[in-house]
Amino acid sequence: MSLPPVIAIDGPTASGKGTVASLVADSLGFHYLDSGALYRLVALASEIQGIDVKNGPELGLIASKLLILFKNNQIFLDGKDVTEAIRTESIGLRASTLAVHPEVRAALVDLQHSFRQSPGLVADGRDMASVIFPDAVLKVFLTATASARAERRYKQLIAKGISAKLSDLLQDLQERDARDSSRGAAPLVIADGAKVLETSDLSIDQAVSLVLDWYQSATA
């Protein structure tokens, strides 16, 4: 029996891949996996438990025991709504730091595979096409310039009433890019056969439209 189709969308921090992926999933009636949220959940759980971000084995253990529920655009950890808590800049930074540990990545592989259900899945992250779903029917590497991504993140934070400094956000993004691309375990790369989608000058609707067109061509 053939597995449900997967659209795998990878890309750097704040490239807009999450928004594009969720809208593509809605449009096709597919399930959606925000793999970055899983790493943010490990970051939050480990922070609550006071585990050092350098302790790979302990972090891997936490990752293997996560009690997560995704429901109605909300994310629950151990029965508690943590949708907003995992979206802070500090948790994002912590998630990027602990994602370098092979123990954490290995612990989350089965969990990510479990999202592959009928009629299909749109998964976004850093290694969806290269590692988790190498047989994806469509692989997309969605990117934008660091300055464009920093500006988007800045506007998001200001809209939420969170104070932010554009220069700090730009530096943080550049550091995360370097860490994500150079780590030993599943680095951020353009997977073989992936289509590169540069969104610096595209609207969200244009990006979604392109991905949907590519999917129709791939499955024609």
- For 163-187, the pLDDT digits (tens) are 889 999 999 889 888 887 877 776 7
Count of beta carbons in the 10 Å neighbourhood of residue 184: 8
This prediction has a pTM of: 0.86
With CA atoms as reference, report the closest residue to 6 among 133, 132, 146, 175: 133
Task: Go through the domains of the chain in sequence order and give each one's CATH number.
Answer: 6-209 (3.40.50.300)
How long is the chain? 220
Average pLDDT over residues 109-129: 93
